[in-house]
Structure 1
Amino acid sequence: MIMTNQKSDDLDCPLCSGVGGELLFEDAICRVVLVSGEEGRSFPGFCRVVGTRHVREMSDLSAAEQRRLLDVVLATERAIRAVQQPDKMNLASLGNVVPHVHWHVIPRWRDDSHFPGPIWTAAQRAGKMRKPVDRNALHNALHAALKTT
């Protein structure tokens, strides 16, 4: 029998077993991934900031880990705003489906399919399709924003 320090829910965690998108940044505390699939097409520039350690709540992190994670969330928001110029940004940390600390950093436009509601609710209209995010521009903007944290 192999012994592990991981709890049973850690072993099945999709954020522990995979990157979860296209990697834009990673350090010892967290990673930033560009979301793909339908969410990425509908909300180009949508990123997730995922904690490296499998913990369920922000308060399970040390004060230094909390500060770093939030600094990266805010740098990600600044980078998306610079590249995508959305009407609004949404930040969400729910974890009800995947109980692993992660933040959704979502650009929103008044004419997107779900505005003003959350992206996880029913669409309110077809929504304007936007061109895909310029991945290199977002990567560069993110790294520039991180230098100021």
Structure 2
Amino acid sequence: MAHDFAPRPDAVPGCALCEQAGGVVLWQDDAWRVIRAEDADFPAFYRVVAQHHMAEFSALLAPERARCMDIVCAIERVLIEQLRPAKINLAALGNMVPHLHWHVIARFDWDSHFPQAVWGPRQREVDGGAPARLGMPLHDLDACVVEALVRRD
């Protein structure tokens, strides 16, 4: 299911998301790629990454913004339906990596940082590890995400 990643000819040198996939590439088209971040504390952490370098969401035309949000919403719905998290966190920060990308993160009351942000202070250790607490294998969750994105096209 994972896709290979190759930097585009117009990649910006030094940009982490131009030069690297940013995680496990699950789906992509000419404008966007969806990756699962490899984070042991937050296994249901996905990113929607612009294939072309740009820093701000407002740089997109209205149809491109709508398509991006459709992708973000499709992932969010899968996480809600499959995992029943306490909350879904959505963010497009870009302070550290100024390449347009959205974070879609399932949060649980048992996770290591809840209710703090994933970048905030750890609140607890998760017995057995976070991936084991999800209730489904990551490859099955990834398959549900891909199915939702393909069905949406």
TM-score (normalizing by structure 2): 0.81
Q: Which amino acid aligns with 2:15?
A: C
| Aligned equivalent of 1:31 | 33
Q: Contact 2:16–2:22 (CA<8 Å) still a contact in 1?
A: yes
| Aligned equivalent of 1:109 | 108
| Aligned equivalent of 2:145 | 142
Q: Which amino acid aligns with 1:134?
A: P
Q: Which amino acid aligns with 2:116?
A: G
In the TM superposition, residue 102 of structure 1 has moved relative to its aligned partner by 0.3
Task: Give the distance between the partners of 2:137 and 2:82, measured in 1 at CA.
Answer: 8
Q: Which amino acid aligns with 2:97?
A: V
Cα distance, 1:136–1:125 mapped onto 2, change above 3 Å: closer
Identity across the alignment (%): 39
For these two proteins, the number of residue pairs brought into alignment is 140
| Aligned equivalent of 2:40 | 41
Q: Contact 1:29–1:68 (CA<8 Å) still a contact in 2?
A: no
In the TM superposition, residue 117 of structure 1 has moved relative to its aligned partner by 1.1
| Aligned equivalent of 1:99 | 98
| Aligned equivalent of 2:55 | 56
- Provide Cα deviations, 1:90-134, integer angstroms capped at 9, x if missing partner: 011100000010011111111211111101011122234231762
TM-score (normalizing by structure 1): 0.83
- Provide Cα deviations, 1:50-76, integer angstroms capped at 9, x if missing partner: 011111000011112111111111111
SS of 2:40's partner is helix
Hey, which bits of structure 1, 4+ residues long, moved more than 6 A?
A: none
| Aligned equivalent of 1:88 | 87
Gaps of 5+ in 1: none
CA RMSD of aligned residues (A): 2.1
Greater displacement, 89-98 / 123-132: 123-132
- Provide Cα deviations, 1:28-66, integer angstroms capped at 9, x if missing partner: 121110111xxx211121111101111100001111211
SS of 2:104's partner is strand
